[in-house]
Amino acid sequence: MTTTTQSSRPALSSGWSTLSRALVVVLGLALLGNAVNAVFSSWAWRTFAGWASDPASIDQGRATAYDAGTVVIGLVLVVLHIMVLVLMIIWLFQAHRSDRMDPARLEHRSGWAIGGWFVPVLNLWRPYQMVEDVRLGGRSGSGPSTNVVLWWWISVVGASIANRVTTVLLGGADPADPDYFSALANANLSDVVASALWVAAAVLGILVVKDVTEAVEQSPHAPAPART
């Protein structure tokens, strides 16, 4: 007769592995979208810097293309980033509260896998801690030494800060100001930096998801059938 060892934690969802693959795909799309935006913003930076130094070179066609590109690319990136955030939260929460974790190795409650992203100031480090919780909680030892999770999170925070800087610079650009095109050039240069950091975050994020997924799927803490 075969019975199953019981756990006080809920079983990992059967669709969690599929969720992991979906998250990797969306991260890949975010990588592509931010790479395109980096190229676009680089073009805009050079264009506005040129107009600032030579007002006679202003081209209405390029200005129209910039406006259209900003709207389209911006909308696509917003959608992709929201998708990444939603999938990441679900993926992280399901793994953290599951029977694949050793509770003794978890330093935070599972609810922080959701709330940690939205609490001001705390969201600068809690999501990183939650990913580390799952990465280590699914293993029996300390796990392989790696700084990938740390560098992923540094990239995310850095990109978010660069995005804020870009927003402030764009908000301060006044068409009536003689330095208007210089302000737009600076804003787009900041956006190039933000996009490059988002690309790095996407690449590292894919590595993090794959590493954590492997740890959870092969977790020695998963309940196994026991013969009686």
Q: What is the pLDDT of residue 5?
A: 45
Question: Under DSSP, is residue 97 helix (H, G, I), strand (E, B) or coil?
Answer: coil
pLDDT band of 55, cuts 50, 70, 90? very high
Tell me the per-residue pLDDT of 10-30, one tens digit each, with 9 for 90 and over: 999 889 999 999 999 999 999
Question: Residue 225 pLDDT more than 70?
Answer: no
Tell me the per-residue pLDDT of 151-174, one tens digit each, with 9 for 90 and over: 999 999 999 999 999 999 999 999
pLDDT band of 226, cuts 50, 70, 90? very low
Task: Measure the N-to-C terminal CA separation of the chain; round to a whole number of Å.
Answer: 6
Residue 2 · residue 221 · CB < 8 Å:
no
Arithmetic mean of pLDDT over the chain: 92
Comparison of pLDDT for 96 and 226, the residue scoring more: 96
Tell me the per-residue pLDDT of 61-94, one tens digit each, with 9 for 90 and over: 999 999 999 999 999 999 999 999 999 999 999 9
Residue 102 · residue 140 · CB < 8 Å:
yes
Question: Residue 1 pLDDT more than 80?
Answer: no
Residue 107 · residue 133 · CB < 8 Å:
yes
Mean pLDDT of 115-140: 94
Residue 222 · residue 140 · CB < 8 Å:
no
Comparison of pLDDT for 146 and 117, the residue scoring more: 117
